[in-house]
Structure 1
Amino acid sequence: MTLQSKLDAFKADFEAGKPPYNVPYSVVETMHRATTELIASGAAQRALKAGDELPTFRLSDPDGNTVSSADLLSSGPLVISFYRGVWCPYCNMELQALQEALPTFQELGASLLAISPQNPVNSRKSVRRNKLTFPILSDPRNDVAAAFGLRFEMPDYLIELYKSLKNDLPAFNGNPSWTLPMPARYVVGQGGAILYAEVNPDYTRRPEPEDMLPALRLAATRAAA
């Protein structure tokens, strides 16, 4: 079963209001409105693409250790996933799929990491809930996401919906701003060039892990040349 088919199955149950979700359709309509507006804004088209250079970054893992993109690239290509947080079921399913694909990435000499705005406590929850063995990094205020062109401000009506659902992003993230990254996946070659980019303003759509394999094989070939 592909990652997207799992996401589609979850979405169908959630939007139908099936237990344990039991959400009214007005909630679904509001989420649809926000996604439609984000798509129409063209924000995804302005994000970094294949051929662009990686913005270097240094972020902390849940234990307070600094992880540097430059250090990771010194040993091979890098796979980066931007996700919204442990509260997002679509993100959790994506992280699980990436964990399953990790041995294949490693065979091609690549490292994998995921970045979200959530604080270290919630990053640890991501690791435990999804049984992850790759780094989860905290991006306060979505600053690194902004450097990639992924950060967006949530509209007021969506903030009110999140509050009504007890989904308190400032508490999750340890920051008062109501911003999120668009879910995105990148493959970066050792020289810092982005070889693969997939950005989707519809958070229910995620690329398959195997979609990145051609770029990773290209990176491995270049490294061996």
Structure 2
Amino acid sequence: MKLDRPTPKHQAPRLSFETLNSETWNIKDQNPENFTLLVFYRGLHCPVCKKYLKELEELLPEFKEKGVEVVAVSMDDEKRARLSRKDWDLKELTLGYNLDLEKAQDWGLYISKGIKEEEPEIFSEPGLFLLNKNNEVYYSAINSNPWGRPYLPSFVKAIDFILENDYPARGEYIK
């Protein structure tokens, strides 16, 4: 079992996945004006994810205005990801799918076994990462359950603070 996790001021782990836009999203190809916001969600079965991603989509224009590119991904297959897009009425948010277990673990995500019929056999719990222009981790939040995620409206305001004050990433200390 991997216990390592991405650390602020260090290079983010490798990551690529297919998106519903028929593109391959690859971390090494990202070139945001300021940041990339990477959201890992549990999948179609999660009503908390539905609410969170709908709120994220509503905030996309504000993130874009601040130079933040946004993408969300889960371990769901393409069919379930398409159902999420349709059932959750997500029109603009870039959605990725088929995140593999090894990559989820590379990112320090908690992994759960399905306990209900509508849940996949295994899936990752939520994570949110803000990556700088060099794909170094600036901020991370990893959850072991669907609740307790960063409040997105205040996160938008935090971007302003970071940019206005040239505020550094924190939490980089490794003994």
Q: TM-score range by the shorter chain?
A: 0.7 to 0.9
TM-score by length of 1: 0.63
- For 1:92, give the aligned amino acid: K
Whether 2:81 is the aligned partner of 1:130: answer no
Identity of aligned residues (%): 20
**1:63–1:120 Cα contact (<8 Å) kept:** no
Equivalent residue for 2:142, pick from 199, 202, 212: 199
Structure with more of its chain in helix, by fraction: 1
Distance 2:43 2:99 in 1: 12
- Structure-to-structure mapping, 1:90-169, within 5 angstroms: 90-132=48-90, 133-154=92-113, 159=114, 161-162=115-116, 166-169=117-120
More strand by share: 2
Output the CA distance in 2 between the equivalents of 1:124 and 1:68.
Answer: 20
Q: TM-score, normalised by structure 2?
A: 0.79
Q: Which residue of 2 aligns with 1:210?
A: 153
Task: Give the gaps of 5 or more residues in structure 2.
Answer: 167-175
Unaligned stretches of 5+ residues in structure 1:
1-42, 170-177
Report the 3-state secondary structure (helix = DSSP H, G, I; strand = E; otherwise coil) of the residue aligned with 2:61: helix
How far apart are residue 76 of structure 1 and its match?
4.2
Question: Where do residues 24-103 of structure 1 align in structure 2 (5 Å cutoff)?
Answer: 47-103=5-61
Tell me how far apart the structure 2 counterparts of residues 219 and 56 of structure 1 sit (CA, whole Å): 26
Aligned pair count reads: 162
Structure 2 vs 1, CA of residues 96 and 67 (structure 1 numbering), >3 Å: closer, same or farther? Answer: same
Native 8 Å contact 1:59 1:67 kept in 2: yes
Q: Alpha-carbon deviations, 1:162-217, whole Å to 9, x = none?
A: 2xxx2251xxxxxxxx3321211111110112111111212122211134336534
The answer (yes or no) to whether the contact 1:57–1:69 under 8 Å persists in 2 is: yes
